[in-house]
Amino acid sequence: MKPVKLTKKTALMLIQRVIPMSPKLISGPTGNNGAVIFTAPVGPEGLEIKVENDWFTHNGCIKLTVHDTSGGSCLTMYFSPNTFQRDYSAEQFDKKEAAADARKQWVQEVGREQAHKLVDLYWGSW
């Protein structure tokens, strides 16, 4: 599947919907193997905004992420490459996938038996 086309003009338009900024702050495109990524700093607090095509997920959407570069919180939005409207179903799917990955990681960290005991303890206390 061919990745979604993403230009600097489109990236700038989507970024400015979220945070008004000068086009001079946007760097990119970067990436290889079909990846197209544009980034820009957001204020002095270590935030960054990133717009990328669907090179990783191949979900047919443009992904916009505002994240804390020190590893904190992240806000992710998906947009249709045709209408540039938010794709809430893609966002919901992404949240469900992230939650499933977090559960898998937790089970791997504590072990299957301990995870099962903790879940039983939790649900048994209701």
Segment 6-28, tens digit of pLDDT? 999 999 999 999 888 889 999 98
- According to the model, what pLDDT value does residue 70 have? 79
Return the residue matching tokens 């990846």.
35
57 vs 37 pLDDT, higher one: 37
pLDDT bin (cut points 50, 70, 90) of residue 122 is confident
Give domain limits for the chain.
1-86, 88-126
Angle, alpha carbons 18-100-15 (nearest 5°): 10
Asked if residue 66 lies in contact with residue 35, where contact means CB atoms within 8 angstroms, the answer is no
Return the residue matching tokens 């996938």.
97
* Token pair recorded at residue 8: 């600097």
* Token pair recorded at residue 30: 């970067």
